[in-house]
Amino acid sequence: MMKYGKAFVIKILRFALNLFLFVGIVFNEPFRVALTLVLVLAPVTFLLGDMLILPKLGNVGAVLLDAPLIFGGILALHVMLGVHLTYGHFFLFSLITVALCIEEFMYHNYIERKVFGKDIPSLSEMINNL
């Protein structure tokens, strides 16, 4: 159980860093918007993407399904929070999605090795074998 808690805390911290950086600092949206995004998207992507999809489809499949989940979630929450959307928002949402998907690829490797106990090479071992 501790493995899942540690993995979830890592996910929350990653999402908080990215969303507060991009949404809060770069795009100057209110703190409540970034906080809402973190508190909704991190648990949803953890449960759906990491706990359900990752064991069945593997790393690449989970990242491919995480991308529309992240982009759609950010868009839907902005609409629900009443934020006036411009073309800049869609560019921002795309940047956030790309950044989080790159991190998700590495994070899924961690989840598979440390939480699910699979015997797969670490990222450094993969890079060294290139």
pTM score: 0.88
pLDDT at residue 114 above 80?
A: yes
Instruction: List CB contacts of 100: < 8 A, sequence separation 6 or more.
Output: 14, 15, 18, 66, 70
Q: What is the pLDDT of residues 99-112, one digit of tens each?
A: 999 999 999 999 99
Average pLDDT over residues 73-90: 92
Confidence class of residue 121 from pLDDT cuts 50, 70 and 90? confident
Confidence class of residue 126 from pLDDT cuts 50, 70 and 90? confident
Separation of alpha carbons 24 and 34, rounded Å: 6
Mean per-residue pLDDT of the chain: 91
Domain ranges in the chain? 2-119
Separation of alpha carbons 121 and 3, rounded Å: 19
